[in-house]
Structure 1
């Protein structure tokens, strides 16, 4: 394990602004972009609304400003409509309020875009989605939920002038379903996440990448829906722990390590979900970040975020060769790719080639900062919004 001697940070969501503060942000530029999301959260909202607004507002010229709004702000929604030139609806389900908001923008001849980061808008794929997420397909209530959720997103999407998404595979799915023009803005790290990550990495560099005599594998899950993905690597994890006493496993988030690994005692560690900034510290301690995914159309739409969140703090990723992971990782150069049957051999080879670790770490970090740092996204965002 890497020894990262830097304390956790006291974190509070930077988007916890009053409505007055958010209205003031929107009004500050000559061209104005309003992001709408049902209610703020630490995942989709952060990546697809807050991060975008942060980049747009960083320009001190006052040319373009942006802010974000929620259903709870409905009492002043007409002010948002009057101020904004462009509306971006982020992964929000159709309802009477959303319809009203879109019609108000439409009547003023203003552009409406739909930003969606997952393959959850076409109900013909509901069975695939439920199976991938290990939903109970025998429960009628789960079918009702997923058909409602997917269909309401798909309806809202089709009402817009265009769409924004995270990768080209998903963009093709959106275009086929909706007939709309689609542009790609990748997920990326905001200032808070990247600043703390840079501090962590610099501390590791200053120590000469000091480690203990153990090798830590990490699995980091932001939701409980990845049980079947994690199951892909369970046999390899059991064999690795049995064959090499130096190996330890850290499972972080909502996934349990698994009963079959309990025999390894405290070599298998469990940590709860962390906020997205302090998660970077936890990731920075492991040598290898494991990113298994099932192979299907739904998982091919997932973004690269688990790769770049690990790369920027110096953890080497081993990943399933999904569309985005295979596009981000150059096998043996900035990480490793492993087919379902190859996880054991790939991890063993990666551990054995410890002399290559510094090169992989540096390659991956440079790649992550250049492609997925907030400071390189402005022109991409402006072009996607049609305000470049």
Structure 2
């Protein structure tokens, strides 16, 4: 990424646009950003390994950006094309004395800011060896030379102009000397050749002087005004045409440290237009010109006059010298040459991706430290385990909330062994944006381009949207979707109606859904969008056989869906459930109807005082507020409300209960909590909730009750436990070996994802069929 000052057209062309073009010639994608757009810079910084700050001052905001780059491990270069960062060298330019006092004071004040920016960055880039040398002396760190060069636009324009000039017959007697000033700061430079130019004009009536841009010349030139042409500075193409229609180009510079640091661009431009040049012998011109062969170097008024007259009087010499100059700059300053010889060594060292490493990118709406929901636990556990495997790198794309951040702003950090790219989700958004958000897709495209993963796994992507899959498809990167819930089939996500009842559909009927959703036309639009994303995926991952069957009912094929049952964290070796005198029932679903909270409240409150307890997990306590009121339950037995457990405190929670209540009101894809209880010898009472009860053996490690909004089924199951509770004292689940661990899940998942990398692209199926 190039973060640049772009208000000076010629600087933008040669130091910014040209550099991006040259990077492209060696296969390096480049983004150019105006340095004043710092919010955008901060976001893009998260996905770029290298940033070049061209002529950017160290304002407080820029300092924060450079510090952010350091936090991210982004390598920073500070670049410039004159000695603006060094007061001693810059003030040797006497042209500054002719500036307006206010402007001059501003230039001087800015020097410290440029110097500070240079010092803050890792390395420097200068347009000349002298600049690079002074940068290193300032910072004690490396500085590199990337010269102003030719580019495709300049070469094409020059070729067109040369071709046009072949058809143009100019008077053989007239000789035009051209000087391109450009800015207000060249008056002193022109003085180094003005005496010779005046003498040449006086001695040769056929010579004219063409001045392009702003320049103040001595009053004595008034006598020759009829042979002095003043032209305003114009577009780059126009400038080259005006130079090309002359015969001799001059580049006088005062002999100062400041000018020694300047580039030889005027010589390059003249040479590709077919003009010979006379230049002052500053460092960059000396390195490019073989005096007397490819151009003339003139250090004194006598040398200027002698060498100008030689060219004025000898058309053949002009042609010969121009031809050699053209050949030399084509050879030493061609785009390909500069790209390979100067940019290549600078940038290739950052291409440190190992050839034998597989990169996996997860996408999930939440990720640590913003962890919420079962799908997030699975994504985090898989990321952590896969990242620990040899030759695997894991990246994560997720959302984040920060009131001070711009919409779609990105922050990169490390969590669970993975590199995480978190995107600020706009607070104000439409319903459709939760399904398909093109702006989110564009951010994902930036991340995808930065990482270049081998495979992508989409977990729960509500809010992120299905555009993520389209971006993968466009990039030719295989992607799989994990079917954590029914979001891909049901607008309400869990196939639960507005009345809190499971709809019990298998083959989804749009007419049935139309009676359930708020807006049937929106639901139709949404269904078309998500099914297109579902059917074009290279693979689908189901956490249970039940959920695979549900999607087979809805048009997917058996070979499209791979069952990768979710794992759980094993209890520690020291873990042991300690039975207590009062039987302790536990519930972890929160106060939502879909998890059956109301059934738990009704069933427990209906039980008489009988020496039991209820432990309720309120997952909002970790966010600073409570969503459950124990007193409001009107229970006859004690109720304890505790915050949600983590993977680090899970053993402690389950050692404190005897029976898990899991009265889910929908057919779940898996049921992580059920497995966490079963493997810790906790009896489970669960509804017939699809994938959630695939590891429950009724009567041996739990009870399965019907899905119903009538709490009587749950109450009766609890009463049976209360009546026969002695068995819990020494209870041990005999089927623990059936329960998958996270490690086993990760091993199987990796093999599956690796198979997608090697597989032929998926055939896109018409979802409407």
Corresponding residue number in structure 1 for 2:39: 75
Match of 2:121, SS state, is: coil
Contact 2:118/2:124, CA 8 A, preserved across alignment:
yes
Quick one: distance in 2 between partners of 1:166 and 1:223? 19
Matched, 1:236 2:206: no
Q: Aligned to 1:179, which of 132, 140, 143? A: 140
Structure 2, unaligned runs of 5 or more: 352-769
Quick one: distance in 1 between partners of 2:218 and 2:283? 28
Q: How does 1:1-388 map to 2 (within 5 A)?
A: 34-58=1-25, 63-129=27-93, 131-135=94-98, 139=101, 141=102, 144-205=105-166, 211-341=171-301, 342-379=303-340, 380-385=342-347, 386-387=349-350
Task: Measure how far apart 1:142 and its partner are.
Answer: 5.5
Task: Measure how far apart 1:73 and its partner are.
Answer: 2.6
Match of 1:93, SS state, is: coil
Contact 1:90/1:115, CA 8 A, preserved across alignment:
yes
Task: Measure how far apart 1:355 and its partner are.
Answer: 2.2
CA offsets per residue over residues 132-179 of structure 1, 9 Å max, x none?
A: 433469x5x456423321111000001111111112122111111111
Task: Measure how far apart 1:339 and its partner are.
Answer: 1.4
More off after superposition, 355-364 vs 301-310: 355-364
Match of 2:178, SS state, is: strand
Contact 2:89/2:257, CA 8 A, preserved across alignment:
no
Corresponding residue number in structure 2 for 1:18: none
More off after superposition, 65-74 vs 245-254: 65-74
Contact 1:256/1:270, CA 8 A, preserved across alignment:
no
CA offsets per residue over residues 235-290 of structure 1, 9 Å max, x none?
A: 22222122111111111111145432222242111100022222111111111111
CA offsets per residue over residues 312-354 of structure 1, 9 Å max, x none?
A: 0011100111111111111111111111222112211222333
Quick one: distance in 1 between partners of 2:318 and 2:99? 42
Quick one: distance in 2 between partners of 1:74 and 1:169? 31
Match of 2:37, SS state, is: helix
Quick one: distance in 2 between partners of 1:336 and 1:346? 7
CA offsets per residue over residues 45-104 of structure 1, 9 Å max, x none?
A: 221121111222346xxx520011113433323321112110100011110221121111
Contact 1:289/1:315, CA 8 A, preserved across alignment:
yes
Quick one: distance in 2 between partners of 1:262 and 1:47? 35
Task: Measure how far apart 1:364 and its partner are.
Answer: 0.6
Quick one: distance in 2 between partners of 1:335 and 1:144? 38
- In structure 2, relative to structure 1, the CA distance for the partners of 1:325 and 1:83 (3 Å cut) is same
**How many residue pairs are counted as aligned between the two chains?**
348
Quick one: distance in 1 between partners of 2:330 and 2:204? 33
Structure number with the higher helix fraction is 1
- In structure 2, relative to structure 1, the CA distance for the partners of 1:350 and 1:226 (3 Å cut) is same
CA offsets per residue over residues 95-121 of structure 1, 9 Å max, x none?
A: 022112111111011100111111111
- In structure 2, relative to structure 1, the CA distance for the partners of 1:213 and 1:350 (3 Å cut) is closer
Quick one: distance in 1 between partners of 2:345 and 2:55? 20
- In structure 2, relative to structure 1, the CA distance for the partners of 1:275 and 1:147 (3 Å cut) is same
Q: Which of the pair has the greater relative contact order for Cα pairs under 8 Å at 6+ separation?
A: 1
Match of 2:291, SS state, is: coil
Quick one: distance in 1 between partners of 2:145 and 2:220? 41
Corresponding residue number in structure 1 for 2:534: none
Contact 2:25/2:336, CA 8 A, preserved across alignment:
no
Q: Give every structure 1 segment of 4 or more consecutive aligned residues whose post-TM-superposition deviation is greater than 4 Å.
A: none
TM-align CA RMSD: 2.1
- In structure 2, relative to structure 1, the CA distance for the partners of 1:238 and 1:215 (3 Å cut) is same
Quick one: distance in 2 between partners of 1:101 and 1:64? 23
Contact 2:248/2:275, CA 8 A, preserved across alignment:
yes
Quick one: distance in 1 between partners of 2:119 and 2:87? 13
Match of 1:239, SS state, is: helix
Contact 1:192/1:277, CA 8 A, preserved across alignment:
no
| TM-score between the two structures when normalised by the length of structure 2 | 0.43
Quick one: distance in 2 between partners of 1:185 and 1:78? 26
Q: Which of the two has higher C-alpha Rg?
A: 2
- In structure 2, relative to structure 1, the CA distance for the partners of 1:205 and 1:72 (3 Å cut) is same
Quick one: distance in 1 between partners of 2:275 and 2:149? 17
More off after superposition, 275-284 vs 144-153: 144-153
Contact 2:275/2:318, CA 8 A, preserved across alignment:
no
Quick one: distance in 1 between partners of 2:265 and 2:205? 31
Structure 1, unaligned runs of 5 or more: 1-33
Task: Measure how far apart 1:225 and its partner are.
Answer: 0.1
